[in-house]
Structures are given as structure tokens and as C-alpha cells.
Amino acid sequence: MLLNEENQKRVARAIAAIERDTDAEVVTVLARQADDYRYIPMMWAALLSLLVPLALAFMPVGLDALETLLAQWTVLVVLAVLFRWPPLMMKLVPKRVKHWRAANLARRTFLDQGLHHTRGGHGVLIFVSEAEHYVEILVDRGVAQHVPDETWKKIVDTFTAHVRQGEVLNGFLECIASCGDQLIIKVPATEKKNELPNHLVIL
């Protein structure tokens, strides 16, 4: 687990604290990884194995067609296994692909958690995908009309810096507090309610 049980409780308490003074419903989600990227290691291994015949052409001892094919397949299999090592695999995945997959998961999670069904459209999702170092805050229409996107971006940038440094808990707590500062002013509490659970959702 990226956050132990006690740290998850701290996140839940932080959410409960700000929700007392705002109509917003805040849900926090932590995903270990947005996708398994199984195709990435195979793609890189296949591309590099295509270079084997070219490399063998410069060898002093020539190989026949069967030996060349065998060498190519050996390189393909070895690299495909090697590139499945998570730290290396994540370096092989283009940043644009990682962010695209994480953004898709964030939007699916927003719907899965029912944040688009809150009264007044006051749903707020704080989403983190740790492997991709991806953070996003998604808000429903009732919040978006009061708080500009630039405000969320600044909060996200700070949180992302924490995630890159492995400070996921500190990032969550600071992000929740910063969101609370905005929500309490722009979407103050008009009634006592708690439509969605406060606990940290782990994917």
C-alpha cells in the first residue's frame, strides 16, 4: 500500500474537516498505476530486434538465415522480459501516453464514484496515479462556475511535486487544505450533508 491505514485515516479526517464548512463533496483517489502498459515492452523489444540483422552484418563471422532468425527471436524474448521490469518499463512509456491513460482513469473514476450526481453539482475529485506521477482535480459544474481552472492547476502543480518526491501523504493533506480554502469561500455550506464517503479510495 502506498499509504498505510493510519495515513488513510488522516486523509479522511482532513476531508471531513473541510466538508463541514462547504457544500462540496470531496473524494480522494489513489491509484498505484493507471494501466499495465503490456504492449509497451513488446513494442520496444520488437523494434530493437529488427536491428539485429543490421548489427550482425558488421560481424566478422557471417550467419546464415536460420541463425540470424534465431538471434532475432532471442533478442526479442530477452528484451521483452527485461522491459517488463516496472522501473524500466515506466521509463519506456512516453509521457503523453502515461498522462492520457491516467486522465482517462480519472474521468472514469469521477463517474464511478458518483461525483456527477451530487446535489447542486458540487462534486470534487482529487485523483493521483502514483506510477505516472499524475495528479488531477476534477470538479462538477456547481464548483467550476465559482473556481477558475487556473486555481486548481496551481494546487495540482504543488501536489505533483510532492508525488515526484514520494511524499504522497503530505501532498494529499496540503492539497485537501488548499482545496478547502477555495471551497469554503466559493461554495460555503448551506446545509448539513455528507453524500459520499470521506475515506481515501485505493485503486
Identify the three-state secondary structure at position 88: helix
105 and 170 share one domain: yes
Give dist(CA 175, CA 40) in Å, integer. Answer: 32
119 and 139 share one domain: yes
120 and 177 share one domain: yes
Range of the domain at 157: 5-36+95-202
66 and 119 share one domain: no
Residues 146-178: pLDDT tens digits? 888 889 999 999 888 888 888 888 888 998 999
Average the pLDDT over 53-64 and give the result: 69
Identify the three-state secondary structure at position 192: coil
110 and 183 share one domain: yes
Q: Which residues of 104-130 are buried (b: 16+ CB within 10 A; e: fewer)?
A: ebbeebbeebebeebebbbbbbbbbbb
Per the structure, the count of domains in the chain is: 2
pLDDT at 127: 93
105 and 196 share one domain: yes
Average the pLDDT over 83-110 and give the result: 85
Which cell numbers in the block locate residue 56? 550482425
Average the pLDDT over 89-108 and give the result: 86
**Chain mean position to CA 116:** 20
Long-range contacts of 109-112 (CB under 8 A, 24+ apart): 109/29, 109/31, 109/201, 109/203, 110/138
CA distances (Å), origin 103, targets 100, 106, 137, 144, 151: 5, 5, 10, 18, 19
Backbone angles phi, psi at 27, to 5 degrees: -125, 130
16 and 113 share one domain: yes
Identify the three-state secondary structure at position 94: coil
pTM value surpassing 0.85: no
The enclosing domain of 143 has a CATH number of: 3.10.310.50
